[in-house]
Amino acid sequence: MQSVRRPVALVVALLGIGACAHGGGAPPVEEGPSAYLIGLEDVLDVSIWRDADLSRVVPVRPDGRISLPLVGELQAAGRTPDQVAEEIRSRLQPLIEDPRVVVIVREINAPRFFVIGEVVRPGGYPLRNRTTVLQALSLAGGPNEFASRGGIVVLRGGKQRIRVNYRDLVDQPASRDFALQPGDTIVVP
């Protein structure tokens, strides 16, 4: 019986080595997009399993913090929902046996850009993904009939002024158009 076990064990071992050598085993893990970072004025749904009294829907205040019963205040802006949930869990650990915490971003309100001046729909718009100047102007309905299409300016960070010509954006979008950053203001005179 022992002589039969050795060849079987040898075959299993060789198959395992062969699979590793030829890239067998688990497929490579692909990196997804970076995790969402909570922003100012986002709304969070904080759920503590089996404790409805502690679960809350809370806004992220302008100072980037949230407040919860028994937890107090903690920094939320600039962190992932999982990081915030872990901090809440660690703060509740001395008070509640095995707290299970989930943080879900209910409303994304933080990153915004603004379009003002001679456009159809001036105002603030959410910056949820990569948005170019031309796309932003499109969201705002485009320049109206009184707009100075050659005098558009993007204000960035209170220090930078980027001049934009609408016709150049339309005629040469690959070379003239660029992505907006949170807080950018497009001024269409």
In a domain, 23, yes or no: no
Average pLDDT rounded to a whole number, residues 68-89: 95
Q: Is the pLDDT of residue 100 over 80?
A: yes
Q: Residue 34: its pLDDT value, please? A: 58
Mean pLDDT (the chain, rounded): 84
Q: Residue 15: its pLDDT value, please? A: 44
Range of the domain at 135: 112-188
In a domain, 8, yes or no: no
Residue 16 confidence class, pLDDT cut points 50, 70, 90: very low
Euclidean distance between the first and final Cα of the chain, in Å? 92
**Per-residue b/e over 66-90, b at no fewer than 16 CB within 10 Å?**
bebeebeeeebbebbbebbbebbbe
SS3 state at 108:
coil
182 and 116 part of one domain = yes
80 and 125 part of one domain = no
Chosen domain end from 89, 107, 125: 107
pTM: 0.55
In a domain, 180, yes or no: yes
> Number of structural domains, the chain?
2
CATH number of the domain to which 184 belongs: 3.10.560.10
Q: Is the pLDDT of residue 161 over 80?
A: yes
In a domain, 4, yes or no: no
Q: Residue 178: its pLDDT value, please? A: 92
The DSSP call for residue 179 is B
48 and 75 part of one domain = yes
